[in-house]
Amino acid sequence: MAEINLFLIFLGSIGFDLLIGDPIFLIHPVQIIGFYIKKISDYLIKNFGENKKILLWGGFIVAISTIGFSFSFAKLIELIYVQSRNHFFSGFLIFFGLSSCIATKGLISSVKEITDLIERKEINDQNKKIIKKKVQRIVSRDVSSSSIEHLLRSCTESLTENSVDGIFGPLFWIFVGIVLMKFSIFLPGPLSLGFSYKAISTLDSMIGYKYDYFRYLGFFSAKIEDIFTFVPARLVLITLPLVGSKINDFIPIIKKSYLDGKKYDSPNAGISEAIFAYISGITLGGKSKYKNAIIEKPIINPTGENCTGEKIKLICQLILRLQFLWIIIFVLIFFIISSLIN
């Protein structure tokens, strides 16, 4: 019974995120996680910035402690909820906790705000400065000297990559947790796996870079994120064509997306960007500025069109359709497993 209630809470949390997003009156778990990561990382860089070995193993401790605390805190709430027979307050915490793990509304709203500014306002120096500031909030590259075309591409690449980290990765691991708790309440559950994945993606976004101190400090964080995003990224690869307009080219699109995505250093980012690029008919990749270096990423879908506001809106629609498809699949799998166990 508790597992069914957890599944219903999960579905409710998805709906809450789609309608409301992150309530401003609640402290987001990422804020707490980010505060801890920043404090420890700043201390290690300040005191041991020249010692690669200490940075490497210090980064390992930061990663394990962040994930471990997130998992343990969430598991405690799950146990209280189940053992107290669906206690209201712990159920309330699980509901908002799961909702905070999913970033559909926040991610889509942020890019739509940027595309609306580009489409509806005259592009003068002042407006372009505002647009660059908003784009910089969602990308790690330096867009201070970017053209409008490059700003649109930056938004699109961030949207397609972060759709896995911020939406489909958490959905996958939360559902895995619900299934596991059908077998034992002491196995990882939806909130403990959801919080753990959120901690992993936050670690990667804050210190998982390949330059300066972060090359060593964020090494383990980046590798852990690669492992835990591997399956969700490939599930997006094989399910996204089902909600697009090119379902007749299902196999060729998956093959092209996989081959283009494999060219990226990241085992997951390239694949998630590639499948969205082929389904929406755009070209991604090319030159981008990071710190003081120009990095040229492999071209994805070289025969596609340039990124536009309309293409970004199409990708947002694809994300929502795919999320709905996943929910249907989750419901079917959950009730099949329930019938087999019972």
Residues 34-58 have a mean pLDDT of 94
**Are 126 and 42 within 8 A, CB to CB?**
no
User: What's the structural domain count of the chain?
Assistant: 1
Of 81-95, 175-189, 195-209, 277-291, minimum mean pLDDT range:
81-95
Where are the alpha helices (H) located in 20-102, listed in sequence order? 29-48, 52-83, 88-101
Q: Which domain holds residue 72?
A: 2-341
- At 195-219, the pLDDT tens digits run 999 999 999 999 988 778 888 999 9
**Burial bucket for residue 267 (CB in 10 Å: 0-12, 13-18, 19+):** middle
pLDDT band for position 340 (50/70/90)? confident
Residue type for position 262: K
- From first CA to last CA, the distance across the chain in angstroms is 11
* Block residue for tokens 């405690």: 76
Q: What are the φ/ψ torsions at residue 290 (nearest 5 degrees)?
A: -125, 120
In this structure, of 16-20, 138-142, 222-226, 315-319, the range with the lowest mean pLDDT score is 138-142
Q: 91 pLDDT exceeds 80? A: yes
Q: How far is CA 333 from CA 190, 230, 236, in A?
A: 15, 21, 17
